[in-house]
């Protein structure tokens, strides 16, 4: 009996150490799972994105070219409120945002955006396309240094959330904390689409890294006072390349809406042939105070805080 008691007393420390090690390993594993979501989640999110992009690809045919009728943008803003068009020249009609919009976006480095922007301009600037010469296409090209993927808004123009300076700084700290948890996104351009509101969009899929669904979830938890209703679907990963604002002039035949829409389809197909399949890596999260309405899209007044992703795992 004494021998058994002695063995038990000697085994207790070892068992305790083993138990503590097990708990530590489990806690570390759970933390890693939260910080670095499994790539097994990607096929599900990529499937959701595929459905969204298929629907967006049909939008122009299903709803018509609303932008040729000076309709609304995807954010319920009138095109005539956003741009001044004189003699075919386009300039942003900048208006102060009150309160400023506070947006969290992923930034696409100019390493990738500049080549894409060049192809967009080459295709949508006046060109000769299958014998149809287009002159004076009214278009606004997104600034290639500001190509971004909108993730989450702490405040937006539809549901503004006022914040004092110290509250904004607290939001900035929270967003920085989220950025430290994110792993670089390796992405691939699935397609380019033109919406009924005239926005030329690059629609992307994720190869590896922290999925946009997880990023938005982390930002939601970090910014509890943000509007419940956000502007975009949780899975979507898209960036604006340009906005078409007016009728093209097609020299070889009398124009009508159907022929114009068909020609836009041809231009989008040409652009897809050039840049579809482009790969890129995202490694920066921005917190942006937009002092003008749609400042990121229109080169307006804004304040940008840039945060590198903290995870080196790709």
Per-residue pLDDT, 13: 53
- 93-130 in b/e form (b: 16+ CB < 10 A) is ebeebeebbbbbbbbbeeebbeebbebbeebbeeeeee
Backbone torsions φ then ψ of 237, nearest 5 degrees:
-140, 95
Q: Which sign does the torsion angle of CA 114, 120, 123, 127 carry?
A: negative
Angle at 160 (CA atoms; ends 289, 56), nearest 5 degrees: 85
Q: Residue 203 contacts by C-beta under 8 Å, 6 or more apart in sequence?
A: 49, 52, 53, 56, 189, 190, 191, 192, 193, 236, 237, 238
Q: How far is CA 48 from the centre of its chain?
A: 15
Per-residue pLDDT, 33: 40
Tell me the per-residue pLDDT of 117-150, one tens digit each, with 9 for 90 and over.
999 999 988 544 444 444 456 789 999 999 999 9
The model's pTM? 0.80
Q: How far is CA 304 from the centre of its chain?
A: 16
The closest alpha carbon to 264, from 94, 127, 172, belongs to 127
Could you tell me the end-to-end alpha-carbon distance of the chain, in angstroms, rounded to an integer?
58
Mean pLDDT, consecutive 10-residue stretches, the chain (314 aa), reads 51 52 44 41 85 95 81 58 76 91 98 98 68 59 97 94 96 98 97 94 97 97 95 95 75 60 90 98 98 94 97 68
Backbone torsions φ then ψ of 177, nearest 5 degrees:
-65, -40
The closest alpha carbon to 279, from 109, 100, 160, 24, belongs to 109
Per-residue pLDDT, 199: 93
Cβ–Cβ < 8 Å for 185, 285: no
Angle at 219 (CA atoms; ends 231, 310), nearest 5 degrees: 130
The closest alpha carbon to 197, from 64, 86, 55, 50, belongs to 64
Q: Is the bond preceding residue 99 a cis peptide, omega within 30 degrees?
A: yes
HEC string of 168-237?
HHHHHHHHHHHHCCCCCEEEEEEEEEECCCCEEEEEEEEEECCCHHHHHHHHHHHCCCCCCCCCCCCCCC
Cβ–Cβ < 8 Å for 297, 142: yes
Tell me the per-residue pLDDT of 50-73, one tens digit each, with 9 for 90 and over.
999 999 999 999 988 888 776 555
């Amino acid at each position: 009996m004494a021998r058994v008691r002695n063995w038990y007393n000697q085994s207790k420390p070892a068992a305790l150490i083993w138990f503590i090690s097990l708990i530590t390993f489990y806690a570390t594993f759970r933390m890693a799972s939260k910080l670095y979501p499994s790539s097994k989640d990607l096929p599900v999110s990529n499937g959701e994105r595929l459905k969204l992009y298929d629907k967006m690809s049909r939008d122009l045919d299903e709803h018509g070219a609303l932008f040729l009728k000076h309709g609304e943008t995807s954010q319920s803003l009138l095109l005539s409120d956003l741009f001044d068009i004189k003699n075919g020249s386009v300039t942003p009609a900048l208006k102060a945002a009150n309160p400023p919009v506070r947006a969290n976006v992923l930034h696409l480095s100019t390493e990738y955006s500049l080549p894409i922007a060049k192809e967009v301009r080459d295709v949508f600037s006046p060109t000769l396309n299958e014998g149809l010469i287009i002159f004076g296409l009214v278009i606004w090209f997104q600034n290639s240094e500001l190509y971004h993927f909108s993730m989450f808004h702490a405040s937006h123009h539809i549901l503004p959330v006022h914040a004092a300076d110290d509250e904004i700084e607290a939001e900035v700290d929270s967003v920085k904390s989220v950025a430290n948890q994110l792993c670089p996104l390796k992405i691939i351009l699935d397609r380019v689409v033109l919406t009924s509101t005239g926005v030329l969009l690059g629609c992307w899929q994720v190869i590896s890294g922290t999925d946009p669904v997880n990023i938005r979830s982390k930002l939601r938890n970090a910014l509890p006072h943000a509007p419940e209703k956000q502007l975009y679907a949780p899975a979507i990963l898209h960036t604006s390349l340009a906005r078409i604002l007016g009728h093209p002039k097609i020299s070889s035949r009398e124009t009508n809406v159907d022929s114009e829409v068909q020609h836009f389809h041809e231009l989008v197909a040409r652009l897809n042939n050039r840049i579809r399949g482009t790969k890129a890596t995202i490694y920066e999260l921005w917190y942006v105070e937009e002092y003008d309405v749609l400042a990121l899209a229109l080169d307006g007044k804004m304040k940008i805080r840039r945060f590198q992703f903290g995870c080196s795992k790709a």
